[in-house]
Amino acid sequence: MSDSLPFVFEIVALNVWINNRHILKDIRDLRIPRNSVFAIMGPSGSGKSTLLKVLNRLLELREGVKIEGEVKFNGENIFNIDPIRLRRKVGMVFQQPNPFYNMSIYDNIAYAVKANGIAKRKEEIDEIVKQSLIRANLYEEVKDNLKRQASSLSGGEQQRLVIARALALKPEVLLMDEPTSQIDVVGARKIEELIIELKKEITIILVSHNPQQAARVSDYVSLLYDGKLIEWGPSQRVFTYPKSELTEKYVAGRMG
């Protein structure tokens, strides 16, 4: 795998079926630039989350899934990479914050660090926990009591804890599946600010059904519709002058 390529992911060709239903249809030539925020937009059922789950091979855990094609991560076909190794490099944050509720803030991150063999010594783990919380813009809010249960945090804080946990594994890419849809406005704004901050170090692929959010945070954007890739390109161009009429209708809120 080479991290010197300009694109972290390249979907050469991709088809996905779930229970014999064709979900992703001949997606081709989609390249995700390194250290950028790449948004995937589309209406419900367009295949956004499915595409995201293909990228770190989570989809294959489901029954009835058939995948054909080639998807490259740092130039190597992901289907030839050990899934555990791939998921260490490609973290995922889901719509619903999913911290380990019965664990403390500290343990949420420390557990992930230990389980993945990132560090063993306590001082080392302490430092990783602290740095991860700092990078997730959560440290200042929780530093006085890291032993608090994760369940006592607000929705937005829980989501940032999940991000901190993912960052502790030093991923190259963070996949985010509508990470603000279950969070209040203030929490959502903090996550958006965090996304912008994180792209200095990693690549973020963000699924969002909200064009305004995609316009605020993304450098590149794509539209999926009915499992097909309609268009992708720099956000400024796509949001100002989309090439496809479907994209025009979607981003301008004229669809449906």
Member of 70, 201, 219, 248 binding other proteins (CB under 8 A): 248
Report the length, in residues, of the chain: 256
Of residues 189-208, those binding other proteins (CB under 8 A)? none
Closest distance to other proteins from the beta carbon of 140 (Å) = 30
Does position 240 interact with other proteins (CB under 8 A)? The reply is: yes
Extract the tokens encoding 28: 């081709």
CB nearer to other proteins: give 104 or 208.
Answer: 208
Q: Which residues contact 173 (CB under 8 A, 6 or more apart)?
A: 8, 9, 55, 73, 89, 90, 91, 202, 203, 204, 205
CB 30 within 8 A of CB 61: no
For the beta carbon of residue 228, count every other beta carbon within 10 angstroms. 15
The neighbouring-strand residues paired with 247 are none
CB of residue 213 to other proteins, shortest distance in Å:
10
Note whether 185 binds other proteins by CB under 8 A: no
Smallest gap from Cβ 237 to other proteins, in A, equals: 8
Q: Sign (positive/negative) of CA torsion 223, 175, 135, 179?
A: positive
Round to whole Å and give the CA distance between 158 and 135: 14
| Residue of 47, 91, 211, 227 interacting with other proteins (CB under 8 A) | 211
- The helix/strand/coil state of 217 is helix
Chain centroid offset of residue 123 CA: 29
Of positions 215, 223, 224, 230, contacts other proteins by CB under 8 A: 215
Site residues for other proteins, window 220-239 (CB under 8 A)?
237, 239
Tokens in use for 53? Answer: 């789950």
What CA–CA distance (Å, rounded) separates 24 from 47? 6
Task: Compute how many residues bind other proteins; rule: CB under 8 A.
Answer: 14
Q: Write down the least CB distance from residue 25 to other proteins, Å.
A: 24
Query: Among the candidate windows 64-72, 78-86, 123-131, 241-249, which touches other proteins by CB under 8 A?
Result: 241-249
241 scored as a contact of other proteins (CB under 8 A): yes
| Interface characters, 15-54, with other proteins (x: CB under 8 A) | ----------------------------------------
Which residues make up the interface to other proteins (CB under 8 A)? 211-212, 215, 237, 239-242, 247-248, 251-254
